[in-house]
Every structure is written in structure tokens, then in C-alpha cells.
Amino acid sequence: MNATALRSAATVVALSMQEGIRRRVFLAVLVLTLAFLGLYALGAHFAFRDVDEFAAGETEILDPHAFTGATIFGLAMFATLFLGAVLAVFLTLGVVRGDAESGLLQPIVVRPIGRTTMLLARFAGAALLSAAYVVVVYLAAWAITKATGDWSPDHLLGPALGLALAVAIIAALSLLASTVLSVTAQGIVVFMVFGAGLTAGLLAQIGNAINSDSLHTIGRVASWALPFEGLYAAGLHALISGTSGLTGVVLQLGPFGGSEAAGPELIAWAFLYLLGILALAAFVFSRRDL
Amino acid sequence: MAAPVLAVSQLHKRYGRQEALAGVDLEVEAGQLVGLLGPNGAGKSTLTKIACGLVRPSAGTVEVLGRRAGSPQARAALGYLAELFRFPGWLSAAELLRFHQRLVGSDGGAAERRALLDLVELGDAADKRVEAMSKGMQQRLGIAQALVGSPRLLLLDEPTSALDPVGRRIVRELLEELRGRGVSVLLNSHLLSEVELICDHVAIIARGRLVRAGTPQELAGPGAVVVETGSGVRSFEGAGREEAPAIVAELVAAGESVYRVEVQHSSLEDVYLEAVGGQTG
């Protein structure tokens, strides 16, 4: 890629980000995020206060702060992933077929930038915004948890990067869908895929709780088929990977059940998956008449 | 002889079972203004889109300055305005042009933007947002956008469809100026009078085939020489201005009194209607 192509790509990335920030959905997500963080702060405050009263004198057996902190922060991670997914999908909504039908795409595609570069630039714009968003919300939730209950996860940065990669994958899936589907169908399909991934994660948790190998296997396969779920589960695991004793056992029975560490295989697979989805989107787009 | 700026050879395009283009040949020379006429669905827009790489041909070739249509080099040499287009509404006219300057790698800067906006008479609207512009202003901005980076070939698909008579005249004058600068233009239009007025060459497409091509004068051709004589009005079909004196001399020699002679031409509209066989989209 030469300097002109890079400059063109950077121009489209900048336009995509500007456009994304200008969309009403971005404002809606910001308002929802502030509401979520406000409620989270309130909930965390009362959760830590009540658990202190409840567990008074019993802290040698179960660490109430670790239990409460991990549980509510795990929940915050789920909400962050969900809001990040909403943002990623809406930032890529109609990027190919929708924009082609409205006539927005053609004046750009006829320029020397080329279709693949344009598509990757649009992806980069959406993925950067979504990834930055989840990292900021995740860190805000951590700051609230730390301030209200003086608890921090065992690993702070890894889960944040996992969430960022997860929303980038969702953005890529949404971009692929936009090459063939109308705007409405694209939104429905991507949210259904997202829901399917989360359901598979839930199945893995249930499988872990009732010791069902079949359910656990289904969840594991789904985590690889839809690696955003695998990354989320790995992030959950990283929050409490150093928590041992009864606290660790009890947490494993709750929302952290079935979560597994992100080995190098999952990380490598997630990147390969992302590249594969983008390559497929670029191939479909290159063969599409506009 | 220099290679044509746009060379279309045996171009075919099928959409499923429907044949949009069935072997079209067309050339646009440097500085030539070519009008592409035809009913709706005749294949005009498809041809234009293939030329700028938006649509892939089923067979045949299209070259822009000797480069395969759709290649980066071909795209760098052309400017395009689609029949249906939309620009981000939140951008101002100047911002939109700056965006396209970056896409084409133009280093014309503010001077180029100002010159282009002046060219389409939008000099006072540089800071106006696209969403606040009328459709006609957006169409003129679209032409300015297509001219960013000084392209050698301009492909315009119905560029005056949303313009009022004043706007049309502005575009007409602009196209004539561009021709003067050596820019080649392929103009898709339904406005026969407009094409007749400004185009050097006209190509008529019907049902995916090129049915007539030539200069407006060649296409219009001689209509008839009509002579009013003492024994009534006589029409000599197919005769032109050059034959009129001989016809008159012959009639006078035969003892006829000649009162009036009129050389009639068939209009481009007549030629068009005859070529497309009354087909409409």
C-alpha cells in the first residue's frame, strides 16, 4: 500500500469515526452508558455495604469483598460487552449495501482508494471507536468497584483487551453481513449471532454447574465458532484466576462457572478469525455490482 | 492518432437472465463531449458504471486511457457523478471537496476547492452543509466533486435531472468550458435538446445495443426539400440543402412556377424515436 492509499484510508477512517460520533445511536449509547455506570456505582455501594454487615466475623472462610467485587464486576463486564456490541453493530449498519442503495458509497468507491481499502478503513473506524468505548467503560466500572469496595480483579488489562478484540470481531461480522444484507436484516442477524454466542456461554456455565460434559463441550465449541464469546469468558476467568479457597470455589458456581483462561490458541484463533471474516467481506464486496 | 480516452469494445452485461448490454462499442476521444441517449433501462447507466468500475462486465472490455476500467489507474483518471447519489449531510461543501481531494491525492488545496465551487456557481456556499442545500445545489456540488483532481474523463449520469433551467444552463456552459480544457465527457441524459446543443457526438442505446451513433448533424441528416409551386406543394424526401438549387432549376425548366423553397431537417428527437422504436422504460 503506497502513501496515497494510506492517506486515503486514513481519510475514510476519520470520516467513519466522525460519522459514527455524529450518529444518534452514539449519543443514545453514551446516555445509556452514563445511566449504567450511575446504577452500577449505586449497586456496588450497597452491595459492598450489605455484604460487610452480612459477613461480619466470617471473613476467614469466605472473602465477601472478593466475592461481591468479582460478581458485580463480572456483571459490569457483561453489560460493557453488550453495549460495545450495540455500538459496533450500529456503527457498521448499512456500510455496504445500505450505503450503496442510498448512493453514498459510489462517489467514494470510484476513487483510487479501492474497495478493499475502503472496507478495511470503515472497519477500522468502527472497531477503533467500539474498542475504545469498551476499554473506557470497563476501566470506569473498575474505578467504581475500587472506590466503593476497594476490590480489584486479579488481572485488570487482559480482560479489557479481550473485550476490545471481542467488539472488533462483532464489528467485522456486522461488516460482512452488510455486504449481502439490507440494513434491517443485517442488524437482526448480527444480534442473533451475538445472542447465540452468549447463550452458548450460558450453556457452558450450566454444564459446568451440573457437571454435564455435553453442555460443556457445546459451550466450548461455540466459544471457538464465535470467539467473541470465548474472549469474554476468558476475561471473566482472568478476573478471578488468582482467587483461591472457598471464595474461588463459590465464584466458580456462579457466573464464572465454565469460564476458561485465554490460552495463546484462543488469542491466535481470534485474530485469524477476524482476518478471515474481513477477507471474506472484502471478497464479497469486490464481486458486488454497485 | 491518440488512443481514445474511453474505449468500449463488445461490452456485454447480464443480470441473471436479463441482458442489460449486448455488445456495445463506443469511443470517447480527448476533449470530446459524447451524449449517451436511450430509454430507461436501455443500459446507459450500466455502461457508465462499468466504465468507472462499479459494475463488472460479463464480457468485452472497457479501457480508460488504455487502462482496464476499475483499475486504480483508470479510476484516478476519471470523475463520476451518479444519477442517484448522496453525500454526508453534515459535511459542508468545502469539507466534502477536501475529503475527495484527499481520496484522489490532489494537492490543489483551498485554491482548487474555491475554483471548483466558483465553476458550479456555489462560491458563496462553501460553508453550507450539504443537508441544507437544495437538490439542484447538491447536483452542482456533485459535479464539482467529480472534477476534483482534474480528471481527464468525466462520466455524468443525468447531471441535470434536478436542475431548473438556470442550473441547466450553468452546467451546459461548464461542460463547454471543460471541453475547451480538453476534458472528455460522457453525458447520460434524457434531455435531447440539451444533448443536441452541446454534444459533439451522440450514441443512442436501446435494449442494450448501440442503435445509432454520430454527430448530431449526421444523425439528424437531411429531411426533405419542400417546394411550393403553381401546381401545389411538392416534397422531395431525403434531399438536403445541397440539392435544393438543382431541384428548383429542374422545376423551372419543366415550366413550374416556384413560390417558396424550404429545406427541412429531421430533429434529434425524430432520429431518437425512430432508433428506439418508441420504446420507453
Are B54 and A106 within 8 A, CB to CB? yes
Query: Shortest CB distance from A104 goes to which of B49, B86, B90?
Result: B86
User: Which residue has better confidence, B79 or A21?
Assistant: B79
What is the structure's pLDDT at A257? 60
Average pLDDT of the residues of chain A: 86
Output the CA–CA distances (angstroms, integers) from residue B255 to B29, B229, B230, B235, B263, in the order listed. 51, 10, 10, 17, 22
**Percent of chain B clearing pLDDT 70 (strictly above):** 97
Taking only the tens place, the pLDDT of each residue in B187-207 is 998 888 788 888 989 999 988
Q: Does residue B265 surpass a pLDDT of 90?
A: no
The SS3 assignment for A132 reads helix
The length of chain B in residues reads: 281
C-beta contacts of B267-274 below 8 A and 24+ residues apart:
B267/B192, B267/B196, B267/B220, B268/B192, B268/B193, B268/B195, B268/B196, B268/B202, B268/B216, B268/B219, B268/B220, B269/B192, B270/B220, B271/B204, B271/B212, B271/B219, B271/B220, B271/B221, B272/B37, B272/B192, B272/B204
Q: Mean pLDDT over residues B13-24, rounded? A: 91
Q: Which of A262, A250, A260 is nearest to A71 (CA)?
A: A250
Q: Does residue A205 surpass a pLDDT of 80?
A: no
The SS3 assignment for A55 reads coil
The SS3 assignment for B96 reads helix
Are A11 and B102 within 8 A, CB to CB? yes
The enclosing H or E element of B46 equals helix B44-51
Query: DSSP class of residue B130?
Result: G
- For B13, nearest residue in chain A (alpha carbons): A289
B113: contact with A, CB 8 A cutoff: no
Q: Which of A36, A280, A6, A44 is nearest to A149 (CA)?
A: A44
What is the structure's pLDDT at A214? 84
B138 contacts: CB under 8 Å, gap ≥ 6: B87, B130, B162
- The H-assigned helical ranges of chain A are 3-22, 24-54, 64-91, 97-102, 106-109, 115-149, 157-180, 183-209, 213-225, 227-240, 245-253, 264-286
Are B88 and A19 within 8 A, CB to CB? yes
The enclosing H or E element of B232 equals strand B232-237
Tell me how close the Cα of A95 comes to any Cα of chain B, in angstroms: 13
Cβ under 8 Å to B: A residues 21-80: 22
- For B98, nearest residue in chain A (alpha carbons): A11
A103: contact with B, CB 8 A cutoff: yes
Interface test with A, best of B54, B81, B147 (most A CBs within 10 A): B54
What is the CB neighbour count within 10 angstroms for residue B32? 19
Taking only the tens place, the pLDDT of each residue in A140-163 is 999 999 999 888 888 889 999 999
Chain Cα centroid distance, residue A148: 25
What is the structure's pLDDT at B281? 59
A8: contact with B, CB 8 A cutoff: yes
The enclosing H or E element of B235 equals strand B232-237
Residues of B in contact with A24 (CB under 8 A): none
Q: Does residue B267 surpass a pLDDT of 80?
A: no
Question: Locate cell 461480619: which residue?
Answer: A56
User: Which residue has better confidence, A259 or A162?
Assistant: A162
Q: Which three cell numbers stand for residue A48?
A: 459492598
A171 contacts: CB under 8 Å, gap ≥ 6: A88, A89, A91, A92, A123, A126, A127, A130
Output the CA–CA distances (angstroms, integers) from residue B10 to A221, B73, B210, in the order listed. 52, 22, 10
Are B102 and A7 within 8 A, CB to CB? yes
A112: contact with B, CB 8 A cutoff: yes
B278: contact with A, CB 8 A cutoff: no
What is the structure's pLDDT at A1? 61
The enclosing H or E element of B194 equals helix B192-198
Q: Does residue A262 surpass a pLDDT of 70?
A: no
Q: In what order do the strands lie in the sheet with B222-229?
A: B232-237, B222-229, B258-265
Q: How far apart are CA B152 and CA B173, in angstroms?
A: 18
What is the structure's pLDDT at A264? 83
Measured over the CA atoms of residue A235, residue A239, residue A243 and residue A247, the dihedral's sign is negative
Query: DSSP class of residue A75?
Result: H
Q: How far apart are CA A73 and CA A151, in angstroms?
A: 10
- Interface A-B, measured as beta-carbon pairs within 8 A, has a size of 68
Q: How far apart are CA B29 and CA B38, in angstroms?
A: 21
Are B80 and A113 within 8 A, CB to CB? no
Are B82 and A111 within 8 A, CB to CB? no
Are B54 and A114 within 8 A, CB to CB? no
- Look up residue B150 and give its amino acid: S
B75: contact with A, CB 8 A cutoff: yes
Are A109 and B53 within 8 A, CB to CB? yes
What is the structure's pLDDT at B194? 81
- CA within 13 Å, CB half, B148: 32
Q: Are B272 and B206 in contact (CB under 8 A)?
A: no
Tell me how close the Cα of B19 comes to any Cα of chain A, in angstroms: 15
What is the CB neighbour count within 10 angstroms for residue B238? 10
Q: Are A210 and A243 in contact (CB under 8 A)?
A: no
Query: Shortest CB distance from B82 goes to which of A11, A19, A103?
Result: A103
Query: Shortest CB distance from B84 goes to which of A8, A103, A287?
Result: A103
Q: Enter the ipTM.
A: 0.80
Q: Mean pLDDT over residues B102-110, rounded? A: 90
Q: How far apart are CA B261 and CA B241, in angstroms?
A: 10
**Percent of chain B clearing pLDDT 90 (strictly above):** 56
What is the structure's pLDDT at A16? 83
Residues of B in contact with A112 (CB under 8 A): 72-73, 75-76, 103-105
The enclosing H or E element of B233 equals strand B232-237
Q: Does residue A58 surpass a pLDDT of 70?
A: no
Are B86 and A103 within 8 A, CB to CB? yes
pTM of the model: 0.82
**Percent of chain A clearing pLDDT 90 (strictly above):** 47
Query: DSSP class of residue B132?
Result: G
Are B86 and A102 within 8 A, CB to CB? yes
Q: Are B230 and B256 in contact (CB under 8 A)?
A: yes
Q: How far apart are CA B36 and CA B164, in angstroms?
A: 21
Pairing label, strands B18-28, B6-15: antiparallel
B135: contact with A, CB 8 A cutoff: no
A284: contact with B, CB 8 A cutoff: no
Query: What dihedral do alpha carbons A164, A167, A172, A173 form, nearest 10°?
Result: 150
Residues of B in contact with A104 (CB under 8 A): 85-88
Q: Which of A176, A191, A182, A194 is nearest to A126 (CA)?
A: A176
